[in-house]
Structure 1
């Protein structure tokens, strides 16, 4: 169990441990989170999947542990947003040289909605799009080609354009117990010993450990 290696499976170069291929200081990824890409090199996640993430804005992408991110999932950051405060959608401040504007006001060209924060044990489906400022709770599932523009509650399944909640994965009681348990923070050796109970849904055994 090594979350610092690039490929979790022998002979599979389409799936990577995302933490091992991240280079930008404003992207944080937890242990054992995977990204699969059968079209592009998954090691180029930052280039192909994290878009409009310019250093000038200082916004962050934070992804928790044990997440599963499918091919083509995109994270669209604030610099893609043309400000709605102006009478025009044209990004005049971005072209400060052309219009003799102060360079210090470049960031006024877009509306800053904040970081993208993904919890732990989140599954993001094929070609899904996560917009700037969105927080996705632990255990959530994002459906194929969903466009997520609002926060997603823990253990919710969402889908559509814009994404809306389809249902919860578990009862409120189980969700509360899972959020308290936070098994993803346990040592890997402990997780390995109880994988069967995670898979068969035996939360009572986990709570006794």
Structure 2
């Protein structure tokens, strides 16, 4: 019996999920937190990932302790502290700043299909990680990452393309992430055994 389900995300012990939606065959690792986010089919995050205000593409691979969409403090005010917006925690006669939370939730990160976000990496709000891109462990991504690019460092900078010229465009055109569950199963042996170029030659 497969562990993952077409209808419900698999939540490991201690996982916390609020205001989020999940497609088929999704997984949330032990102690991870997912807030105000959408996981498309087959996306998963590992242990203690912290994901907020994010659209996570199909087949996205998010490693342990990654942080995506970390929220910012209001650094242009007289104070940075969250008593400014979580005010009800401190006083009975005042409400939280709903406008602040709405603006924070609207600053969404986008993680493309078949991406890999490495261990401990940080992806800032309003950043887009293109399809097939790889973010190295410990990287801090402050700008958009092109599809099929490998980035690393603080701040993250491009290292190299994932594939030789032309391969990424052909994979995009093939769009295997939109295949049915049954078609993926039928092609599993080729996913395992073939290089990207050989896979394209067979399935284009």
TM-score by length of 1: 0.69
**Native 8 Å contact 1:147 1:160 kept in 2:** yes
Corresponding position: 1:196 with 2:193: no
**Native 8 Å contact 2:122 2:141 kept in 1:** yes
Match of 2:39 in 1: 29
**3-state DSSP of counterpart to 1:133:** coil
* Aligned partner of 1:82 among 74, 77, 84: 74
Corresponding position: 1:18 with 2:27: yes
**2-structure distance, mates of 1:129, 1:24:** 15
**1-structure distance, mates of 2:111, 2:66:** 13
**2-structure distance, mates of 1:102, 1:28:** 28
**2-structure distance, mates of 1:167, 1:129:** 19
**Native 8 Å contact 1:93 1:106 kept in 2:** no
Q: CA deviation at 1:3?
A: 3.9
**2-structure distance, mates of 1:102, 1:152:** 38
Deviations 1:27-68 (A, max 9, x none): 11012222222xx5xxxx5xxx13xx5xxxxxx311011111
Aligned residues: 181
**Native 8 Å contact 1:19 1:29 kept in 2:** no
**Native 8 Å contact 2:29 2:46 kept in 1:** no
Alpha-carbon RMSD: 3.8
Unaligned stretches of 5+ residues in structure 1? 54-59
Name the structure where helix makes up a greater proportion of residues.
1
1:71–1:102 distance in 2 versus 1, CA, 3 Å: closer
* Aligned partner of 1:94 among 61, 65, 85: 85
* Aligned partner of 1:177 among 149, 166, 170: 170
Unaligned stretches of 5+ residues in structure 2? 15-24
1:89–1:111 distance in 2 versus 1, CA, 3 Å: farther
Corresponding position: 1:151 with 2:161: no
**1-structure distance, mates of 2:28, 2:170:** 28
**Native 8 Å contact 1:140 1:153 kept in 2:** yes
